[in-house]
Protein backbone atom coordinates (compact mmCIF):
# COMPACT_ATOMS: atom_id res chain seq x y z
CA UNK A 1 0.00 0.00 0.00
CA UNK A 2 1.41 3.38 -0.97
CA UNK A 3 1.42 5.91 1.87
CA UNK A 4 3.02 8.76 0.01
CA UNK A 5 3.54 9.39 -3.66
CA UNK A 6 5.69 12.30 -4.80
CA UNK A 7 6.32 13.12 -8.43
CA UNK A 8 8.44 15.81 -10.08
CA UNK A 9 8.52 17.79 -6.84
CA UNK A 10 10.38 21.08 -7.17
CA UNK A 11 10.76 23.54 -4.29
CA UNK A 12 12.24 26.93 -5.03
CA UNK A 13 13.92 29.40 -2.72
CA UNK A 14 13.62 32.52 -4.85
CA UNK A 15 14.60 31.38 -8.35
CA UNK A 16 16.98 28.65 -7.24
CA UNK A 17 15.45 25.17 -6.91
CA UNK A 18 16.45 23.62 -3.57
CA UNK A 19 14.56 20.45 -4.51
CA UNK A 20 14.75 19.59 -8.19
CA UNK A 21 12.17 17.26 -9.78
CA UNK A 22 12.33 14.70 -7.01
CA UNK A 23 10.11 11.64 -7.11
CA UNK A 24 9.63 8.72 -4.73
CA UNK A 25 6.95 6.66 -3.06
CA UNK A 26 6.68 5.24 0.45
CA UNK A 27 4.95 1.90 0.99
CA UNK A 28 3.67 0.47 4.25
CA UNK A 29 6.34 -1.50 6.10
CA UNK A 30 9.24 0.52 4.73
CA UNK A 31 11.74 2.42 6.85
CA UNK A 32 13.36 4.88 4.49
CA UNK A 33 16.49 6.80 5.37
CA UNK A 34 16.97 10.16 3.68
CA UNK A 35 20.68 10.98 3.57
CA UNK A 36 22.78 13.65 1.94
CA UNK A 37 25.22 16.39 2.88
CA UNK A 38 24.12 19.67 4.53
CA UNK A 39 22.09 21.81 2.15
CA UNK A 40 21.25 18.90 -0.16
CA UNK A 41 17.53 19.67 0.25
CA UNK A 42 16.44 16.91 2.63
CA UNK A 43 14.29 19.14 4.85
CA UNK A 44 12.82 21.01 1.87
CA UNK A 45 11.92 17.71 0.21
CA UNK A 46 10.08 16.49 3.31
CA UNK A 47 8.33 19.82 3.94
CA UNK A 48 7.41 20.13 0.27
CA UNK A 49 5.98 16.61 0.22
CA UNK A 50 3.84 17.52 3.25
CA UNK A 51 2.63 20.70 1.60
CA UNK A 52 4.25 22.93 4.22
CA UNK A 53 6.23 24.72 1.49
CA UNK A 54 5.00 26.00 -1.87
CA UNK A 55 6.07 23.55 -4.57
CA UNK A 56 5.62 22.53 -8.19
CA UNK A 57 4.82 18.96 -9.12
CA UNK A 58 2.64 16.53 -7.24
CA UNK A 59 2.42 15.06 -3.74
CA UNK A 60 -0.70 13.19 -2.71
CA UNK A 61 -0.37 14.21 0.96
CA UNK A 62 -0.13 17.91 0.12
CA UNK A 63 -3.42 17.65 -1.75
CA UNK A 64 -5.31 16.72 1.46
CA UNK A 65 -6.94 19.18 3.83
CA UNK A 66 -4.78 19.88 6.91
CA UNK A 67 -7.12 17.82 9.10
CA UNK A 68 -7.13 14.78 6.78
CA UNK A 69 -3.40 15.01 6.36
CA UNK A 70 -2.89 15.04 10.13
CA UNK A 71 -4.62 11.65 10.35
CA UNK A 72 -2.38 10.22 7.61
CA UNK A 73 1.08 11.52 8.47
CA UNK A 74 2.87 12.80 11.55
CA UNK A 75 5.78 15.20 11.17
CA UNK A 76 8.69 15.84 13.48
CA UNK A 77 10.44 19.07 12.48
CA UNK A 78 14.16 19.45 12.92
CA UNK A 79 13.76 22.42 15.21
CA UNK A 80 12.65 21.12 18.58
CA UNK A 81 10.26 23.50 20.15
CA UNK A 82 8.27 23.27 23.36
CA UNK A 83 7.13 26.81 24.02
CA UNK A 84 5.43 26.48 27.40
CA UNK A 85 6.23 24.72 30.67
CA UNK A 86 3.83 21.79 30.14
CA UNK A 87 4.14 18.31 31.61
CA UNK A 88 5.62 15.59 29.38
CA UNK A 89 2.26 13.85 29.33
CA UNK A 90 0.49 16.97 28.07
CA UNK A 91 3.08 17.58 25.35
CA UNK A 92 2.74 13.99 24.12
CA UNK A 93 -1.06 14.33 24.22
CA UNK A 94 -0.81 17.18 21.69
CA UNK A 95 -0.34 14.38 19.15
CA UNK A 96 -4.00 13.49 19.70
CA UNK A 97 -5.28 16.95 18.66
CA UNK A 98 -6.23 15.90 15.12
CA UNK A 99 -8.68 13.33 16.54
CA UNK A 100 -10.32 15.50 19.18
CA UNK A 101 -13.58 17.30 18.48
CA UNK A 102 -13.53 20.99 19.38
CA UNK A 103 -13.20 21.43 23.12
CA UNK A 104 -13.34 17.67 23.80
CA UNK A 105 -11.18 16.00 26.42
CA UNK A 106 -8.93 13.01 25.82
CA UNK A 107 -10.91 9.78 25.53
CA UNK A 108 -9.75 6.32 26.65
CA UNK A 109 -8.38 5.62 23.16
CA UNK A 110 -6.33 8.83 23.27
CA UNK A 111 -5.04 8.00 26.74
CA UNK A 112 -3.87 4.57 25.66
CA UNK A 113 -2.14 6.04 22.59
CA UNK A 114 -0.33 8.53 24.86
CA UNK A 115 0.63 5.75 27.30
CA UNK A 116 1.91 3.56 24.47
CA UNK A 117 3.98 6.42 23.05
CA UNK A 118 5.49 7.19 26.48
CA UNK A 119 6.33 3.52 26.96
CA UNK A 120 7.92 3.20 23.52
CA UNK A 121 10.23 6.14 24.18
CA UNK A 122 11.01 5.01 27.74
CA UNK A 123 9.44 8.15 29.22
CA UNK A 124 7.03 6.67 31.76
CA UNK A 125 9.12 7.97 34.62
CA UNK A 126 9.05 11.46 33.11
CA UNK A 127 5.27 11.63 32.69
CA UNK A 128 4.69 14.42 35.20
CA UNK A 129 7.97 16.27 34.74
CA UNK A 130 7.88 19.70 33.11
CA UNK A 131 9.07 19.15 29.55
CA UNK A 132 10.93 22.46 29.24
CA UNK A 133 13.07 21.60 32.25
CA UNK A 134 14.41 18.39 30.68
CA UNK A 135 17.72 18.11 28.83
CA UNK A 136 17.84 18.60 25.06
CA UNK A 137 18.05 14.88 24.36
CA UNK A 138 15.15 14.11 26.71
CA UNK A 139 13.06 16.81 25.04
CA UNK A 140 13.84 15.23 21.67
CA UNK A 141 12.48 11.92 22.97
CA UNK A 142 9.35 13.65 24.28
CA UNK A 143 8.74 15.13 20.84
CA UNK A 144 9.25 11.76 19.15
CA UNK A 145 6.71 10.31 21.60
CA UNK A 146 4.35 13.12 20.61
CA UNK A 147 4.73 12.00 16.99
CA UNK A 148 4.08 8.36 17.94
CA UNK A 149 0.94 9.37 19.87
CA UNK A 150 -0.48 10.77 16.64
CA UNK A 151 -0.55 7.12 15.50
CA UNK A 152 -0.54 7.73 11.75
CA UNK A 153 0.19 5.25 8.94
CA UNK A 154 3.14 7.37 7.81
CA UNK A 155 5.77 8.99 10.05
CA UNK A 156 8.18 11.64 8.78
CA UNK A 157 11.02 12.79 11.00
CA UNK A 158 13.72 15.33 10.26
CA UNK A 159 16.94 14.33 12.02
CA UNK A 160 15.14 12.74 14.97
CA UNK A 161 18.30 11.34 16.56
CA UNK A 162 20.54 14.41 16.31
CA UNK A 163 21.82 15.25 19.79
CA UNK A 164 20.75 11.97 21.40
CA UNK A 165 23.21 9.80 23.30
CA UNK A 166 24.23 6.57 21.50
CA UNK A 167 21.85 4.35 23.48
CA UNK A 168 18.92 6.68 22.86
CA UNK A 169 19.81 6.86 19.14
CA UNK A 170 19.71 3.09 18.87
CA UNK A 171 16.59 2.76 21.01
CA UNK A 172 14.80 5.34 18.84
CA UNK A 173 15.76 3.66 15.57
CA UNK A 174 14.78 0.27 17.07
CA UNK A 175 11.32 1.71 17.69
CA UNK A 176 11.13 3.08 14.16
CA UNK A 177 12.07 -0.30 12.76
CA UNK A 178 9.49 -2.00 14.98
CA UNK A 179 6.84 0.46 13.79
CA UNK A 180 7.73 -0.33 10.19
CA UNK A 181 7.42 -4.04 10.96
CA UNK A 182 3.94 -3.31 12.35
CA UNK A 183 2.99 -1.85 8.98
CA UNK A 184 3.74 1.84 9.35
CA UNK A 185 5.72 3.66 6.69
CA UNK A 186 8.66 5.71 7.94
CA UNK A 187 10.91 8.28 6.38
CA UNK A 188 13.74 9.76 8.45
CA UNK A 189 16.56 12.07 7.49
CA UNK A 190 19.83 11.00 9.11
CA UNK A 191 23.48 11.97 9.16
CA UNK A 192 24.90 8.79 10.67
CA UNK A 193 25.53 6.63 7.61
CA UNK A 194 26.21 3.41 9.55
CA UNK A 195 22.97 3.72 11.53
CA UNK A 196 21.12 4.57 8.32
CA UNK A 197 22.56 1.45 6.68
CA UNK A 198 21.71 -0.70 9.64
CA UNK A 199 18.18 0.43 10.41
CA UNK A 200 16.69 1.49 7.09
CA UNK A 201 15.27 -0.90 4.53
CA UNK A 202 15.86 1.64 1.81
CA UNK A 203 17.98 4.77 1.39
CA UNK A 204 17.29 7.90 -0.61
CA UNK A 205 20.43 9.91 -1.30
CA UNK A 206 20.14 13.60 -2.10
CA UNK A 207 22.67 15.90 -3.64
CA UNK A 208 22.06 19.51 -4.70
CA UNK A 209 18.28 19.10 -4.62
CA UNK A 210 18.17 15.90 -6.65
CA UNK A 211 17.64 12.31 -5.57
CA UNK A 212 20.77 10.67 -6.92
CA UNK A 213 20.33 7.15 -5.53
CA UNK A 214 17.42 5.09 -4.25
CA UNK A 215 17.68 1.50 -3.11
CA UNK A 216 18.72 -0.92 -0.35
CA UNK A 217 21.66 0.30 1.78
CA UNK A 218 24.09 -2.37 0.56
CA UNK A 219 23.61 -1.28 -3.05
CA UNK A 220 23.48 2.45 -2.42
CA UNK A 221 26.40 2.93 -0.05
CA UNK A 222 29.42 2.39 -2.26
CA UNK A 223 32.72 4.15 -1.90
CA UNK A 224 32.12 5.79 -5.28
CA UNK A 225 28.86 7.32 -4.03
CA UNK A 226 30.39 8.41 -0.71
CA UNK A 227 33.17 10.10 -2.59
CA UNK A 228 30.90 11.74 -5.19
CA UNK A 229 28.06 12.88 -2.92
CA UNK A 230 29.66 13.29 0.51
CA UNK A 231 33.25 14.07 -0.58
CA UNK A 232 34.25 11.39 1.86
CA UNK A 233 37.03 8.83 1.81
CA UNK A 234 35.58 5.98 3.85
CA UNK A 235 36.17 2.36 4.61
CA UNK A 236 33.09 0.18 4.28
CA UNK A 237 33.01 -3.01 6.34
CA UNK A 238 30.36 -5.59 5.65
CA UNK A 239 28.98 -6.96 8.95
CA UNK A 240 25.99 -9.21 9.69
CA UNK A 241 24.10 -6.05 10.80
CA UNK A 242 24.80 -4.35 7.47
CA UNK A 243 27.57 -2.16 6.19
CA UNK A 244 29.57 -0.10 8.71
CA UNK A 245 31.02 3.09 7.30
CA UNK A 246 34.13 4.54 8.86
CA UNK A 247 35.00 7.97 7.47
CA UNK A 248 38.76 8.26 6.98
CA UNK A 249 39.27 11.52 5.17
CA UNK A 250 37.85 14.23 2.96
CA UNK A 251 38.09 14.57 -0.80
CA UNK A 252 38.68 18.14 -1.80
CA UNK B 1 -11.77 22.26 36.96
CA UNK B 2 -10.45 23.37 40.36
CA UNK B 3 -8.91 26.37 38.64
CA UNK B 4 -12.22 27.22 36.99
CA UNK B 5 -14.12 27.07 40.25
CA UNK B 6 -11.52 29.16 42.08
CA UNK B 7 -11.38 31.84 39.38
CA UNK B 8 -15.14 31.91 38.91
CA UNK B 9 -15.79 32.27 42.66
CA UNK B 10 -13.15 34.97 42.96
CA UNK B 11 -14.47 36.93 40.00
CA UNK B 12 -18.08 36.69 41.16
CA UNK B 13 -17.11 37.76 44.68
CA UNK B 14 -15.30 40.86 43.44
CA UNK B 15 -18.17 41.52 41.03
CA UNK B 16 -20.63 41.51 43.92
CA UNK B 17 -18.29 43.62 46.05
CA UNK B 18 -18.02 46.13 43.21
CA UNK B 19 -21.81 46.39 43.06
CA UNK B 20 -22.27 46.95 46.76
CA UNK B 21 -19.30 49.15 47.65
CA UNK B 22 -19.46 52.80 46.73
CA UNK B 23 -19.91 56.42 47.67
CA UNK B 24 -23.55 55.97 48.66
CA UNK B 25 -23.96 53.45 51.47
CA UNK B 26 -26.74 51.14 50.35
CA UNK B 27 -27.53 48.07 52.46
CA UNK B 28 -27.05 44.85 50.47
CA UNK B 29 -30.73 43.69 50.55
CA UNK B 30 -31.96 47.12 49.46
CA UNK B 31 -29.32 47.26 46.71
CA UNK B 32 -30.25 43.82 45.49
CA UNK B 33 -33.92 44.79 45.37
CA UNK B 34 -33.03 48.05 43.63
CA UNK B 35 -31.16 46.13 40.92
CA UNK B 36 -34.45 44.49 40.00
CA UNK B 37 -36.32 47.77 40.11
CA UNK B 38 -37.92 47.36 43.53
CA UNK B 39 -37.73 49.80 46.46
CA UNK B 40 -36.29 53.29 46.90
CA UNK B 41 -36.04 55.05 43.46
CA UNK B 42 -32.83 56.76 44.53
CA UNK B 43 -31.22 53.42 45.32
CA UNK B 44 -32.56 52.14 42.02
CA UNK B 45 -30.84 54.97 40.10
CA UNK B 46 -27.54 54.41 41.89
CA UNK B 47 -27.57 50.65 41.43
CA UNK B 48 -28.91 50.38 37.89
CA UNK B 49 -27.46 53.48 36.28
CA UNK B 50 -24.18 54.00 38.08
CA UNK B 51 -22.86 50.86 39.71
CA UNK B 52 -24.16 48.16 37.36
CA UNK B 53 -22.73 49.66 34.14
CA UNK B 54 -19.46 50.46 35.89
CA UNK B 55 -19.12 46.93 37.26
CA UNK B 56 -20.19 45.27 34.02
CA UNK B 57 -17.76 47.38 31.99
CA UNK B 58 -14.87 46.65 34.36
CA UNK B 59 -15.55 42.92 34.05
CA UNK B 60 -15.97 43.05 30.26
CA UNK B 61 -12.89 45.18 29.70
CA UNK B 62 -10.81 42.95 31.97
CA UNK B 63 -12.04 39.77 30.30
CA UNK B 64 -11.29 41.22 26.85
CA UNK B 65 -7.78 42.25 27.80
CA UNK B 66 -6.96 39.00 29.63
CA UNK B 67 -8.33 36.80 26.86
CA UNK B 68 -6.61 38.63 24.03
CA UNK B 69 -3.36 38.77 26.01
CA UNK B 70 -3.40 35.00 26.49
CA UNK B 71 -4.24 34.47 22.81
CA UNK B 72 -1.47 36.81 21.67
CA UNK B 73 1.13 35.17 23.92
CA UNK B 74 0.07 31.72 22.75
CA UNK B 75 0.20 32.72 19.12
CA UNK B 76 3.63 34.33 19.31
CA UNK B 77 4.91 31.78 21.84
CA UNK B 78 6.27 34.72 23.77
CA UNK B 79 5.32 35.55 27.37
CA UNK B 80 6.01 39.23 26.72
CA UNK B 81 3.42 39.65 23.99
CA UNK B 82 0.36 41.72 24.78
CA UNK B 83 -2.81 42.75 22.95
CA UNK B 84 -1.56 46.30 22.32
CA UNK B 85 1.09 44.83 20.03
CA UNK B 86 -1.14 44.82 16.97
CA UNK B 87 -1.82 48.54 17.27
CA UNK B 88 -5.60 48.37 17.63
CA UNK B 89 -5.72 49.91 21.11
CA UNK B 90 -3.44 52.74 19.98
CA UNK B 91 -5.66 53.42 17.00
CA UNK B 92 -8.83 53.32 19.10
CA UNK B 93 -7.25 55.79 21.54
CA UNK B 94 -6.36 58.04 18.61
CA UNK B 95 -9.97 57.98 17.43
CA UNK B 96 -11.16 58.99 20.87
CA UNK B 97 -8.54 61.72 21.20
CA UNK B 98 -9.46 63.20 17.83
CA UNK B 99 -13.11 63.17 18.86
CA UNK B 100 -12.21 65.04 22.06
CA UNK B 101 -9.86 67.45 20.35
CA UNK B 102 -12.25 68.48 17.59
CA UNK B 103 -15.23 68.69 19.91
CA UNK B 104 -16.96 65.91 17.97
CA UNK B 105 -17.21 63.99 21.24
CA UNK B 106 -19.83 66.49 22.43
CA UNK B 107 -21.87 66.18 19.22
CA UNK B 108 -23.95 63.28 20.53
CA UNK B 109 -23.85 60.84 23.42
CA UNK B 110 -21.81 57.97 21.91
CA UNK B 111 -19.69 60.07 19.55
CA UNK B 112 -16.45 59.28 21.40
CA UNK B 113 -16.63 55.48 21.58
CA UNK B 114 -17.99 55.27 18.04
CA UNK B 115 -15.11 57.33 16.72
CA UNK B 116 -12.68 55.09 18.63
CA UNK B 117 -14.29 51.98 17.15
CA UNK B 118 -14.09 53.43 13.66
CA UNK B 119 -10.37 54.02 14.07
CA UNK B 120 -9.86 50.53 15.49
CA UNK B 121 -11.57 49.03 12.45
CA UNK B 122 -9.42 51.23 10.21
CA UNK B 123 -6.32 49.94 11.98
CA UNK B 124 -7.30 46.32 11.29
CA UNK B 125 -7.72 47.15 7.60
CA UNK B 126 -4.36 48.88 7.55
CA UNK B 127 -2.62 45.95 9.27
CA UNK B 128 -4.15 43.46 6.84
CA UNK B 129 -3.04 45.67 3.96
CA UNK B 130 0.51 45.90 5.33
CA UNK B 131 0.94 42.29 6.42
CA UNK B 132 -1.13 40.67 3.67
CA UNK B 133 -3.91 38.22 4.47
CA UNK B 134 -1.39 35.35 4.44
CA UNK B 135 1.33 37.35 6.22
CA UNK B 136 3.66 35.56 8.64
CA UNK B 137 3.58 36.33 12.37
CA UNK B 138 6.61 38.57 12.07
CA UNK B 139 5.06 40.79 9.37
CA UNK B 140 1.86 40.93 11.41
CA UNK B 141 3.78 42.21 14.42
CA UNK B 142 5.82 44.67 12.36
CA UNK B 143 2.62 46.03 10.82
CA UNK B 144 1.13 46.31 14.32
CA UNK B 145 4.15 48.20 15.60
CA UNK B 146 4.03 50.54 12.59
CA UNK B 147 0.34 51.26 13.20
CA UNK B 148 0.92 51.76 16.96
CA UNK B 149 3.81 54.13 16.37
CA UNK B 150 1.84 56.13 13.86
CA UNK B 151 -1.21 56.29 16.12
CA UNK B 152 0.99 57.43 19.05
CA UNK B 153 2.54 60.14 16.88
CA UNK B 154 -0.86 61.40 15.75
CA UNK B 155 -2.18 61.29 19.33
CA UNK B 156 0.75 63.45 20.42
CA UNK B 157 0.02 65.79 17.52
CA UNK B 158 -3.64 66.08 18.50
CA UNK B 159 -2.57 66.89 22.06
CA UNK B 160 -0.01 69.37 20.77
CA UNK B 161 -2.63 71.19 18.70
CA UNK B 162 -5.35 71.10 21.33
CA UNK B 163 -7.32 74.37 21.24
CA UNK B 164 -7.12 75.09 24.97
CA UNK B 165 -5.72 73.66 28.19
CA UNK B 166 -9.12 72.23 29.18
CA UNK B 167 -9.30 70.14 26.03
CA UNK B 168 -5.73 68.98 26.63
CA UNK B 169 -6.43 67.93 30.21
CA UNK B 170 -9.64 66.22 29.11
CA UNK B 171 -7.64 64.21 26.58
CA UNK B 172 -4.94 63.33 29.10
CA UNK B 173 -7.51 62.20 31.67
CA UNK B 174 -9.39 60.13 29.10
CA UNK B 175 -6.17 58.42 28.06
CA UNK B 176 -5.56 57.28 31.62
CA UNK B 177 -8.46 54.89 31.30
CA UNK B 178 -11.53 54.60 33.49
CA UNK B 179 -14.90 52.89 33.78
CA UNK B 180 -16.38 55.59 36.03
CA UNK B 181 -19.50 57.52 34.97
CA UNK B 182 -20.40 55.17 32.16
CA UNK B 183 -24.00 54.34 31.27
CA UNK B 184 -25.70 51.12 30.28
CA UNK B 185 -25.62 52.50 26.71
CA UNK B 186 -21.84 52.04 26.80
CA UNK B 187 -22.36 48.44 27.87
CA UNK B 188 -24.81 47.83 25.03
CA UNK B 189 -22.47 49.46 22.51
CA UNK B 190 -19.41 47.45 23.56
CA UNK B 191 -21.00 44.13 24.39
CA UNK B 192 -21.94 42.80 20.93
CA UNK B 193 -18.55 43.71 19.49
CA UNK B 194 -16.66 42.26 22.45
CA UNK B 195 -18.77 39.11 22.35
CA UNK B 196 -17.82 38.54 18.71
CA UNK B 197 -14.18 39.04 19.66
CA UNK B 198 -14.48 36.63 22.61
CA UNK B 199 -16.03 34.00 20.36
CA UNK B 200 -13.22 34.34 17.81
CA UNK B 201 -10.54 34.15 20.51
CA UNK B 202 -12.07 31.44 22.68
CA UNK B 203 -12.16 29.00 19.73
CA UNK B 204 -8.42 29.40 19.12
CA UNK B 205 -7.53 26.93 21.89
CA UNK B 206 -6.74 23.90 19.77
CA UNK B 207 -4.56 25.90 17.35
CA UNK B 208 -2.68 27.60 20.17
CA UNK B 209 -2.06 24.25 21.88
CA UNK B 210 -0.60 22.87 18.65
CA UNK B 211 1.54 25.99 18.21
CA UNK B 212 3.39 25.02 21.40
CA UNK B 213 5.41 22.74 19.12
CA UNK B 214 6.16 25.45 16.55
CA UNK B 215 4.44 26.57 13.34
CA UNK B 216 5.53 23.61 11.22
CA UNK B 217 4.41 20.98 13.71
CA UNK B 218 1.13 22.85 14.28
CA UNK B 219 0.32 22.83 10.59
CA UNK B 220 1.12 19.13 10.41
CA UNK B 221 -1.29 18.63 13.32
CA UNK B 222 -4.07 19.93 11.11
CA UNK B 223 -4.11 23.61 12.09
CA UNK B 224 -4.56 26.20 9.35
CA UNK B 225 -2.21 28.98 10.38
CA UNK B 226 -3.65 31.49 7.90
CA UNK B 227 -7.08 31.10 9.42
CA UNK B 228 -5.73 31.17 12.96
CA UNK B 229 -3.89 34.42 12.27
CA UNK B 230 -6.98 36.13 10.83
CA UNK B 231 -9.16 34.90 13.66
CA UNK B 232 -6.65 36.19 16.22
CA UNK B 233 -6.42 39.58 14.51
CA UNK B 234 -10.18 40.07 14.27
CA UNK B 235 -10.85 38.70 17.73
CA UNK B 236 -8.23 40.90 19.40
CA UNK B 237 -9.29 43.92 17.39
CA UNK B 238 -12.96 43.52 18.31
CA UNK B 239 -12.35 42.79 22.01
CA UNK B 240 -9.57 45.32 22.63
CA UNK B 241 -10.93 47.94 20.23
CA UNK B 242 -14.29 47.92 22.01
CA UNK B 243 -12.62 47.90 25.43
CA UNK B 244 -10.48 50.92 24.57
CA UNK B 245 -13.45 52.71 23.04
CA UNK B 246 -15.48 52.57 26.26
CA UNK B 247 -12.76 52.60 28.93
CA UNK B 248 -9.68 54.24 27.45
CA UNK B 249 -6.23 52.76 27.59
CA UNK B 250 -5.86 50.23 30.41
CA UNK B 251 -2.43 48.66 30.25
CA UNK B 252 -0.69 45.67 31.84
CA UNK B 253 -3.78 43.43 32.17
CA UNK B 254 -3.14 41.53 28.93
CA UNK B 255 0.52 41.11 29.80
CA UNK B 256 0.38 40.24 33.50
CA UNK B 257 -2.74 38.09 33.85
CA UNK B 258 -1.75 35.25 31.47
CA UNK B 259 1.70 35.31 33.00
CA UNK B 260 0.38 34.95 36.55
CA UNK B 261 -2.05 32.17 35.64
CA UNK B 262 0.18 30.14 33.31
CA UNK B 263 1.46 27.94 36.11
CA UNK B 264 -2.06 27.14 37.29
CA UNK B 265 -3.15 26.33 33.74
CA UNK B 266 -0.24 23.87 33.62
CA UNK B 267 1.19 25.79 30.70
CA UNK B 268 -1.63 24.69 28.39
CA UNK B 269 -2.54 27.65 26.11
CA UNK B 270 -6.17 26.53 25.64
CA UNK B 271 -6.76 26.42 29.40
CA UNK B 272 -5.01 29.74 29.81
CA UNK B 273 -7.47 31.40 27.41
CA UNK B 274 -10.57 31.20 29.59
CA UNK B 275 -8.52 31.37 32.80
CA UNK B 276 -7.07 34.70 31.68
CA UNK B 277 -10.50 35.98 30.68
CA UNK B 278 -11.77 35.32 34.22
CA UNK B 279 -8.51 36.51 35.79
CA UNK B 280 -8.53 39.70 33.73
CA UNK B 281 -12.10 40.44 34.77
CA UNK B 282 -11.20 39.89 38.43
CA UNK B 283 -8.10 42.07 38.17
CA UNK B 284 -9.82 45.05 36.54
CA UNK B 285 -12.79 44.76 38.92
CA UNK B 286 -10.36 44.76 41.85
CA UNK B 287 -8.44 47.73 40.45
CA UNK B 288 -11.67 49.66 39.95
CA UNK B 289 -12.69 48.82 43.49
CA UNK B 290 -9.33 50.16 44.69
CA UNK B 291 -9.93 53.35 42.71
CA UNK B 292 -13.16 53.91 44.64
CA UNK B 293 -11.79 52.96 48.05
CA UNK B 294 -8.36 54.60 48.13
CA UNK B 295 -9.06 58.16 47.03
CA UNK B 296 -12.81 58.37 46.40
CA UNK B 297 -12.83 62.17 46.26
CA UNK B 298 -9.87 62.57 43.87
CA UNK B 299 -11.16 60.66 40.81
CA UNK B 300 -8.21 58.30 40.62
CA UNK B 301 -8.01 56.71 37.15
CA UNK B 302 -8.25 52.98 36.56
CA UNK B 303 -5.35 52.90 34.11
CA UNK B 304 -3.12 54.61 36.67
CA UNK B 305 -3.91 52.07 39.39
CA UNK B 306 -3.44 49.22 36.91
CA UNK B 307 0.00 50.55 35.99
CA UNK B 308 0.91 51.05 39.66
CA UNK B 309 -0.05 47.44 40.40
CA UNK B 310 1.30 46.08 37.12
CA UNK B 311 4.79 47.51 37.25
CA UNK B 312 5.83 45.80 40.53
CA UNK B 313 4.31 42.51 39.30
CA UNK B 314 6.52 42.91 36.28
CA UNK B 315 9.55 43.35 38.50
CA UNK B 316 8.57 40.15 40.27
CA UNK B 317 8.46 38.42 36.89
CA UNK B 318 11.94 39.63 36.03
CA UNK B 319 13.21 38.37 39.37
CA UNK B 320 11.58 34.96 38.85
CA UNK B 321 12.88 34.63 35.29
CA UNK B 322 16.37 35.56 36.38
CA UNK B 323 16.29 32.90 39.07
CA UNK B 324 15.14 30.32 36.52
CA UNK B 325 17.90 31.21 34.10
CA UNK B 326 20.62 31.26 36.76
Chain B residues in contact with chain A using a Cβ-Cβ cutoff of 8 Å = 77, 203, 205-206, 209-214, 216-217, 219-224, 262-263, 266-269
The answer, for A98 touching chain B at a CB cutoff of 8 Å, is yes
Rounded to whole angstroms, the Cα distance separating A165 from A173 reads: 12
Sequence-distant (≥ 6) Cβ neighbours of residue A252 within 8 angstroms: A231
Query: Does some domain include residue A162?
Result: yes
pLDDT tens, per residue, chain A with 252 residues: 789 999 999 999 888 999 999 999 999 999 999 999 999 999 999 999 999 999 999 999 999 998 899 999 999 999 999 999 999 999 999 999 999 887 778 899 999 999 999 999 999 999 999 999 999 889 999 999 999 999 999 999 999 999 899 999 999 999 999 999 999 999 999 999 999 999 999 999 999 999 999 999 989 999 999 999 999 999 898 888 888 999 888 876
Short-list A16, A76, A7, CA closest to A41: A16
Amino acid B326: pLDDT: 65
Q: How many domains does chain A have?
A: 1
Phi, psi of A54 (to 5 degrees): -65, 140
Window from A193-207, B260-274, B290-304 with minimum mean pLDDT: B290-304
Window from A211-215, B21-25, B191-195 with minimum mean pLDDT: B21-25
Percentage of chain B beyond pLDDT 90 is 44
Q: CATH number for the domain including A214?
A: 3.40.50.300
Kindly list the structural domains of chain B, giving each domain's residue range(s) and its CATH number in brackets, ordered by start.
2-325 (1.10.3470.10)
Whether the Cβ atoms of residue A121 and residue A145 lie closer than 8 Å to each other: yes
Rounded to whole angstroms, the Cα distance separating B297 from B313 reads: 27
The answer, for A66 touching chain B at a CB cutoff of 8 Å, is yes
Region B153-177 average pLDDT: 88
Angstroms from A78 CA to nearest CA on chain B: 10
Short-list A143, A156, A144, A151, CA closest to A59: A156
Chain B's closest residue to A133, CA to CA, is B324
Amino acid B61: pLDDT: 96
The answer, for A137 touching chain B at a CB cutoff of 8 Å, is no
Around A66, how many Cα atoms within 13 Å sit in the side-chain half-sphere? 18
Q: Which of A97, A143, A150 sits opposite B206 (nearest CB)?
A: A97
Reported as a single tens digit per residue, the pLDDT across B196-233 is 999 999 999 999 999 999 999 999 999 998 899 889 98
Rounded to whole angstroms, the Cα distance separating A162 from A136 reads: 10
Q: Which of B203, B222, B266 sits opposite A97 (nearest CB)?
A: B222
Beta bridge partners of A188: A33, A157
Q: What's this model's pTM, rounded to 2 decimal places?
A: 0.90
> Is the per-residue pLDDT at B1 higher than 80?
no
Chain A's closest residue to B266, CA to CA, is A86
Q: Tell me which residue range forms the domain holding A224.
A: 2-82+152-250
> Is the per-residue pLDDT at B136 higher than 80?
no
Amino acid B134: pLDDT: 64
Query: Does some domain include residue A9?
Result: yes
Angstroms from A102 CA to nearest CA on chain B: 7
Reported as a single tens digit per residue, the pLDDT across B41-69 is 888 888 888 889 999 999 999 999 999 99
Query: Does some domain include residue A219?
Result: yes
Sequence-distant (≥ 6) Cβ neighbours of residue B36 within 8 angstroms: none
Amino acid B135: pLDDT: 65
ipTM: 0.91
Amino acid sequence: MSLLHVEDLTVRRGECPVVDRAGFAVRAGECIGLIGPNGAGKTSLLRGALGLLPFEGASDLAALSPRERAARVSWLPQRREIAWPMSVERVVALGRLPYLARGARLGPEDRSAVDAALRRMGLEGFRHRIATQLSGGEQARVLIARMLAQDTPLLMADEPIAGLDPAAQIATLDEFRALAAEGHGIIVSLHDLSLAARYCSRLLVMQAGRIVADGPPREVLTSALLSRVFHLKADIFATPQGPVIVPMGVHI
Amino acid sequence: MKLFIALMTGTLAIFALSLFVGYAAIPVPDGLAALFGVGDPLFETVMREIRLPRTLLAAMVGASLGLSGAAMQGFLRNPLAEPGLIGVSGAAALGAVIALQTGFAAAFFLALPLSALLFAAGAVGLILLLAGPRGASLTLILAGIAVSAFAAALTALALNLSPNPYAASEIVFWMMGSVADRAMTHVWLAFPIMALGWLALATLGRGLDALTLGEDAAEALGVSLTRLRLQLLFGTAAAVGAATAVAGAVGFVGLIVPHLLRRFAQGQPSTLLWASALGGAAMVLAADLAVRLILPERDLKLGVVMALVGAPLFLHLIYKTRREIA
